[in-house]
Every structure is written in C-alpha cells, then in structure tokens.
Amino acid sequence: MIAPVFKYLRSAILLFAGLLACANAAQAQQVMVIVNGDPITAYDIEQRMKLVSISGQKSADRQATIQELIDEKLKIQLLKKFGIEGMDQDVENAYGNMARRMRTTPAAFTEQLAKSGVNSATLKQRIRAEIVWNQVVRGRFQSTLQVADKDVLAKIETNKPDESKMVGYDYTLRPIVFIVPRGSPPALIEQRKKEADALRARFQNCEEGIALARGQRDIAVRAPITRSSTDLGPDLRAILDKTEMGKLSAPEVTSQGVEVYALCGKKQSAAENSPGRKEIRDEMFSEKFKAVSTRYLKELRSQAMIEYTKQP
C-alpha cells in the first residue's frame, strides 16, 4: 500500500509544479498597458528593470519604467507611420559597436546579458527606439535644429572656453596593428604590447619606421588616413597631442589586437574645425534636440490611445 501512496504523491507534486510554472509564465505575459493596440507585458517591465539595474544606473522605479516603455512604443510605431525600412541592420550594428566598446563580441555580450537575466532583445528594442527617434526628429525638425555660426561665436564670446581647444589639427596617420586572434589569452596580449613598445623605441620616422614594421611578424600596416581633431574622441586626441612627429603613439588594445598610430603629418586646421567649437556646436544642438523631442513626444502621447489594463 505504501508504494502506490508515494507514487500518487509524486504525481501530485509534479502536477503542482507544472501548474505553478504555467501560472508564472502566464503572469509574466500578463498585459499591463496597451499603447495604440501594442501591448506592454509584465515580462517587458521586469526585463527593462533588470537592464536598468545592470547598467549601473540608479535603482529602477516600476512606474518610471512603465512610462519609459510607453514612450518607446510610441517611438517604434513611427517606423510604420513614416515607412522607415532597413532598421534591423542598424540595430545589429549598434549592438555590435556596444559590444566592441566593452572589449567583447556580440555573442559574448549576449551571454553576459543572459547571465544577468536579461534577454538581448530587450536591449535591442531600446536601441531600435532611439535610432528611429533620432531619424524622425532630425528629419521632421531639421530647420529647427540647425545651429548658426553666429550663435556658436556668440556662445564662445560669452563662455570663454579653454583656448587649447580652440585650435584644431589635421593629422596624417598610419595605423599599425599587432594582430591578436580572438579568444587569445591575456598573456599573448601583454606580449604583443611589449613588441609594440619595442617598435616604438626603434621608430624614428615614418619612411624608415613603416618599412621596419612591415618586416615583423603578424603586423598589419594600414593605408594612410587623414583625421581632423573634430573627428577624434578626446582620448585619442590627447594621445596624438603627446606623440612627436614621425613617432608612434602609445599602444592600445582594440578588437583587432594591439594598435599604434604613426604620426606622419600634422597641420593646423581651419578655425571652424577646432574641437572647442565642435563641442559648443554639439552642446547647442543637444539642447535644441532635447527641447524638440520633449515637445514632440508630448504631442504623440496626447494623440495616443493608452490603456492601463492592470494597476501599475
């Protein structure tokens, strides 16, 4: 008699576990808000709160998260309204760039997100919304967003920015990459950094130095490129400012390996291409973009059908 009882008990436990799993799945898919016919589920909210949490931002507030997801739905719905196509590749490119900035691959980045309980689709949805929004706002309000040169000059006169930033340069560079295969151990990267430092010590000018670099193993010497100060990030700009003419910059680790730049030319660029002027112009554009975005999003919300099916 004991065996049948245990058998029955085991079956009951398994049945209860199955029902509980179904209940949890159903709860996760529970629709909380409908935005112009598009649902926002409890799962969407949970995923976004986890994403915010691992992004190093302040603790996610549930109500604020719901409002963010509503705005996101309104932005993505503009895809259909304006017939925007080819967005999937833009999203994948942005996702890949994000992974590279974190010194990893898109696949490894996806695994890292999964370990934190976040589906990569959650982040890609956020990326999609921002790409769409940028395209639509820039296209729809192009004239409003323009920053006139006279306004930039007036801002410079008022703010008196750092004089060193008001001078820009055009650099002629030869990128040299000490190739490191993907998945290589840290020891190999350190070895290649030492090799890069050794080449720097011997590199006296571009003509002889480039030939010297080509004679070493697993090194790619890229074609010459010309970059303006305004095209470079502040970190790379600082590195080049510390590099003597005809010498190599300090090595940095990139997705391809260990990279250095041979500085083969440097001349002062036109005043309008200075980093300081670009920073001021970008700041003024951002202010205009924020004001227009806020106004347009408020307009979209006023026209939208937003229904809360459950209490937030």
Instruction: Report pLDDT for 291.
Output: 96
Share of the chain above pLDDT 70, in %: 85
Report d(CA 280, CA 272) in Å as an integer.
11
Instruction: Report pLDDT for 9.
Output: 47
CA atoms within 13 A on the CB side of 132: 25
Report d(CA 119, CA 49) in Å as an integer.
12
Distances (CA, A) of 140 to 68, 274, 292, 293: 22, 29, 10, 11
SS3 string, 45-96, reads HHHHHHHHHHCCCCCCCHHHHHHHHHHHHHHHCHHHHHCCCCHHHHHHHHHH
| Tens-place pLDDT, residues 72-92 | 999 999 998 998 888 899 999
Q: Position of tokens 């106004």?
A: 295
Q: Where are the beta strands (DSSP E) in the chain?
A: 31-35, 38-41, 169-179, 219-221, 225-228, 252-253, 257-268, 306-308
**Closest to 199 measured CA to CA, from 182, 174, 224:** 174
Higher pLDDT, 279 or 78: 78
- Number of Cβ within 10 Å of residue 188's Cβ equals 14
List the single range of 48-57, 66-75, 190-199, 217-226 with lowest mean pLDDT.
48-57
Instruction: Report pLDDT for 256.
Output: 85
Q: Which domains does the chain have, with CATH numbers?
A: 2-142+292-308 (1.10.4030.10), 168-270 (3.10.50.40)
| Tens-place pLDDT, residues 120-133 | 999 999 999 999 99
Instruction: Report pLDDT for 25.
Output: 47
pTM over 0.75: no
How far is C-alpha 272 from the chain's CA centre?
28
Q: Give the confidence band of 191 by pLDDT, cuts at 50, 70, 90.
A: very high
Whether the predicted pLDDT of 111 surpasses 90: yes
Do 260 and 199 meet the contact criterion of CB atoms below 8 Å apart? yes
Whether the predicted pLDDT of 260 surpasses 60: yes
Do 207 and 174 meet the contact criterion of CB atoms below 8 Å apart? no
